[in-house]
């Protein structure tokens, strides 16, 4: 709206200037002054609006930081991460925003995962691969110990649901099944794990978030 007013004022000023050149004796000064006042007034309004929006943005960022500092260690990550995402957008931290998106939505295309991204090590749990006869895959070679681990791609809300389970959980990842069959010549059908392992993943994600905020000096930028 302000831009439209300024454009109109500019057009009228140009017209007045042309008329003044053609007829120097014409009484164009009052209209020129009015256009000038409109232009200056519009610029003042724009600056005040920009300043007000900036204050609102900083105020919101401060509130988010305060909430994360006070509630971030206790509230579920499914509540903490969306606020951290909003904060990342307010301060234009694209890298942090990208990471939070993957943690919320999962490490896949839906979460914005690219070819450069990898599922981080802190999302890894330990368990056992089982065959159709409930026999456990035993790994005696220490160099192959990683076979009995699994890195979750799931978003935090799904991880929270898993962590609340009481009984042992099973998942089937076709990629792992095929790799084990190809390289170890063993047929497995599921990966069995304790839900407590997922609780550990959630706490490591929380720690990673707080570290990223602290390393970026976000938490210290808005002290209490």
pLDDT along the chain (224 residues), means of 10: 58 60 60 57 56 53 84 91 92 93 95 94 95 90 90 96 95 92 92 96 95 71 48
State how many domains the chain has.
2
Residue 215's pLDDT is 73
Q: Is residue 190 part of a domain?
A: yes
Domain limits for position 180: 121-199
Residue 55's pLDDT is 46
Q: Is residue 141 part of a domain?
A: yes
Q: Is residue 17 part of a domain?
A: yes
89 vs 82, 84, 158, CA distance in Å?
A: 11, 9, 24
Q: Is residue 222 part of a domain?
A: no
Residue 112's pLDDT is 94
Residue 50's pLDDT is 54
Q: Is residue 101 part of a domain?
A: no
Residue 52's pLDDT is 47
Residue 1's pLDDT is 61
Q: Which residues contact 205 (CB under 8 A, 6 or more apart)?
A: 77, 103, 122, 123, 156, 159
Buried b (16+ CB within 10 A) or exposed e, 116-125: eeebbeebbb
Q: Is residue 25 part of a domain?
A: yes
Q: Is residue 189 part of a domain?
A: yes
Residue 84's pLDDT is 94
CB atoms within 10 A of CB 203: 14
């Amino acid at each position: 709206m302000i831009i439209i007013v300024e454009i109109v004022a500019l057009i009228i000023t140009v017209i007045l200037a042309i008329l003044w050149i053609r007829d120097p004796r014409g009484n164009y000064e009052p209209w020129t002054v009015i256009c000038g006042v409109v232009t200056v007034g519009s610029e003042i309004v724009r600056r005040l609006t920009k300043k007000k929006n900036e204050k609102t943005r900083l105020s919101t960022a401060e509130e988010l930081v305060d909430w994360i500092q006070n509630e971030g260690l206790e509230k579920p990550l499914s509540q903490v991460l969306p606020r951290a995402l909003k904060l990342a957008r307010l301060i234009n931290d694209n890298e942090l925003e990208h990471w939070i998106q993957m943690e919320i939505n999962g490490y896949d295309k839906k979460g914005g995962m690219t070819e450069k991204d990898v599922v981080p090590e802190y999302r890894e749990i330990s368990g056992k691969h089982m065959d159709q006869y409930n026999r456990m895959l035993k790994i005696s070679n220490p160099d192959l110990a990683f076979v009995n681990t699994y890195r979750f791609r799931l978003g935090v809300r799904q991880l929270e649901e898993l962590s609340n389970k009481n009984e042992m959980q099973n998942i089937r990842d076709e990629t792992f099944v095929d790799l084990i069959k190809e390289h170890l010549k063993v047929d497995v059908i599921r990966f069995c794990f304790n839900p407590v392992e997922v609780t550990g993943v959630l706490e490591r994600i929380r720690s990673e978030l707080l570290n990223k905020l602290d390393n970026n000096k976000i938490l210290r930028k808005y002290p209490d």
